[in-house]
Chains A and B, each alone.
Chain A
Amino acid sequence: MTHTVLVTGVSRHIGARLASVLAADPEIGRVIGVDTVPPPSLTRDGGIPLGRTEFVRVDLRSPDIAQVIAAADIDTVVHMSLVSAPSRSTGRAAMKEHNVIGTMQLLGACQRSATVRRVVVRSTTAVYGSSPYDPAVFTEDLEPHHSPDHGYAKDAVEVEGYVRGFARRRPDVCVSLLRFANFMGPGVDSPLTRYFTQPLLPTVLGFDPRLQFVHEDDAVEVLSRMATEDHPGTFNVAGAGVLLLSQCVRRAGRPALPLPSPAFRLLGNAVRGAGLVEYSPEQLRLMSHGRTVDTSALERELGRRPKFTTAAAFDDFLRSRGLYALGGARR
């Protein structure tokens, strides 16, 4: 049986890499990539060769996506199009609309479709929040003490709610919900990777959070397996082990600037205006209390662990940016 796979968010790094892997798979008949902006050009902006992926420019917030799904007999939908930080030009409102309304439109179209058999949705471990009241390690079934009430994490919580609703209404469709830890790797560009490439790393005085990363290669691998096999359920995806922020800072060989949390928040508001790095209240909580998830469910389901541990993923990222710990290059 040949598959037709729809990938949303194909103009961004992980989405593009996933599309190119799927396009190289002979089992898959067609790969259709959609996004609100065209993919970056190969030569200039470090784009990824998308192979035979067919690109359709669709604004997820409009009902156009339903026509794409209906017209192409799509049987697998991989929803990657969650925006994690507001863009400088359009701001938070557009981001929320894109994330939440976009997901609603997409799932609405899937619910109508007679051909869709499998839906894979990218979510984030940020849905667990970060607080001193929660267990040290989150499993998929844990309800956080404080549900995130801001930004990206709140969007993701809402998106997950719609995904669960969809799974209830269409029990015949295999729904996989993947909660990714922060992506890390040579091609990743996120608020966190931008944070670590600053010349001076502000930290919250008196706190040293545990962080977890997932390498982009592992993320693509997990997504492509989810897109080609049935693995219903919710899964945390993260590299094994944790790194403390202080360890990350030392590995990056950059000086840390510990600030009391009110000062960190003020600085956050100041630089957010400049649009360089995001220091949202959510980021402040992550930088204070950290977050670790349990990935044993995914390991059982897929029968393998991510290739990169959290530390290996971070080191790979540092190497690609030419950052080294004090005292020269790491092996």
Chain B
Amino acid sequence: MSVPRDDGQAPVVPISAAPSYSADGGGDAPDPVAELLAFLRRRVTGDYEVDEFGYDAELTDKVLLELLRPLYHHWFRVEALELKNVPEEGGALVVANHAGTLPVDALMMQVALHDEAGRALRLLGADLVYRLPLLSHLSRKTGHTLACREDADRLLRRGELVGVFPEGFKGVGKPFSERYKLQRFGRGGFVASAIRAGVPIVPTAIVGSEEIYPKIGEVPFVARLLGLPYVPITPFFPLLGPLGLVPLPSKWLIEFGEPIRTDEYDPGAADDPMLVFNLTDRVREVIQQMLDQLRLRRGHAFPPFL
């Protein structure tokens, strides 16, 4: 559902179709200069659409993901595997492991799904994201929203591809020594949402994110001072200052597993804690297995050197 326009000029593009704005017009190649000017005119006059969550599909595709693409292709050399397991349309819940001290894995997964599966990823993020300046509106503009039952249900009902990292801060902030060990999976709220909407759960393993900022310690008192869940120490941060913020160029693999169906349950089953816990455990085990296999398959974290 996108915002209807009053002047009825441009066609309303369903946001879930993750439109690529460069590919319009039949045979003749569009003039890149005219296209850029039209883009700039729309941006300057505010004549563009965002959905009710604040997702700005054009800005995401043309600017924000464009900034991430070099990182995706050349720095991390991400390979997205088994993309056929991502439904081409309709609601689905992508559940992935979370690691890397900073949530770079979320961004890379978004690029993978947007560019290679043609789906806009709508992530559910922590409230911390929405409290912070800059991050709060960038997160909304790239299609993400607060991890809460209402938003998850609403997005899935609309047929969007929703992504969650059930480990949350426990996962992304875990020490390097615990790499590729899945942490506890929250309260299983994501499973309940999938059951209520009757959408499949796509278990996803991300290998490579663990090595970008190896966290070997933290500074709890600074974290408390700043109201952050942790302030990390890595081999290069804070030692090298801002240079320490450059992520290490590990090799990444993202594998999408076989969807786990939830439509065979009655929507009321979402209120059965035992069933929800069991299904949560099943998803967790599947992801852990995928992680272990994928890690073997990748071999060295920083090929070809080590």
Asked whether B151 is an interface residue with its Cβ less than 8 Å from the other chain, the reply is yes
- State the interface size on chain A (CB cutoff 8 A): 43
Residue of A nearest to B153 (CB): A135
Decide: A132 and B131 in contact? CB cutoff 8 A.
Answer: yes
**List of B residues within 8 angstroms of A327 by Cβ:** 41, 44-45
Contact A136 B5 (CB under 8 A): no
Partner of A247, one of B6, B48, B131: B48
B53 contacts the other chain (CB 8 A): yes
- Within the complex, the shortest CB–CB distance from B190 to chain A, in Å, comes to 15
* Bound form: Cα–Cα A210–B3 in Å: 13
* CB of A297 within 8 Å of the partner chain: no
Provided the pairs A137-B154, A309-B4 are in contact, do residues A210 and B127 lie with their beta carbons within 8 angstroms? Answer: no
Closest to A206 in B: B133
Q: From DSSP, what is the main secondary structure of chain B's interface residues?
A: loop
B54 touching A132, Cβ below 8 Å = no
The verdict on A210 contacting B54 (CB below 8 Å), with A137-B154, A315-B6 known, is yes
Residue in A133, A208, A243, A308 whose CB lies within 8 Å of B127: A133
Inter-subunit contact A250/B7 (CB<8 Å): no
Chain A residue contacts of B54, Cβ below 8 A: 136, 208, 210, 242, 244, 290
- Decide yes or no whether B134 CB sits under 8 A from chain A: yes
Query: Is B16 interfacial (CB-CB < 8 Å)?
Result: no
A246 within 8 A of B: yes
Instruction: Tell me if B49 is interfacial: C-beta within 8 Å of chain A.
Output: yes
> Bound state CA distance, A121 and B134, in angstroms?
38
Contact B44 A250 (CB under 8 A): yes
Are A242 and B52 touching (Cβ within 8 A)? yes
Q: Are A326 and B150 in contact (CB under 8 A)?
A: no
Residues from chain B with a CB closer than 8 A to the CB of A309 are 3-6
Q: Determine if A84 is an interface residue (Cβ-Cβ < 8 Å).
A: no
Expressed in whole angstroms, the Cα–Cα distance for A26 and B102 within the complex equals 66
Does B31 sit at the interface, judged by CB under 8 A?
no
Determine whether B136 belongs to the interface, using a CB cutoff of 8 Å to chain A. yes
Task: From A209, A241, A246, A261, give the contact of B49 (CB < 8 A).
Answer: A241
Interface residues of A (CB under 8 A from B): 132-137, 139, 142, 204-210, 240-244, 246-251, 260-261, 288-290, 292, 308-312, 315, 325-327, 330-331
12 extra A-B contacts, CB within 8 A, seeds A135-B145, A309-B6, A311-B6: A133-B130, A136-B151, A205-B133, A207-B136, A242-B50, A243-B46, A246-B46, A250-B44, A311-B3, A325-B46, A326-B45, A327-B44
> Which B residues are in CB contact (< 8 Å) with A290?
54
CA distance A310 to B54 in the complex (A): 13
Q: Which residue of A lies closest to B144 (CB)?
A: A136
Residue pair A134, B146 in contact (C-beta under 8 Å): yes
Once bound together, how far apart are the Cα atoms of A309 and B51, in whole Å? 13
**Chain A neighbourhood of B49, CB < 8 A:** 241
> B41 and A132: CB pair below 8 A?
no
**Do residues B45 and A210 form an inter-chain contact, with CB atoms below 8 A?**
no
Question: CB-nearest residue of chain A relative to B150?
Answer: A135
A289 lies within 8 A of B44 (CB): no
Q: How far is the CB of B17 from chain A (nearest CB, A)?
A: 18
Q: Which chain B residues numbered 117 to 132 have a C-beta less than 8 Å away from chain A?
A: 127, 130-132
B137 at the interface (CB under 8 A from A): yes
Cβ < 8 Å to A, chain B residues 235-285: none
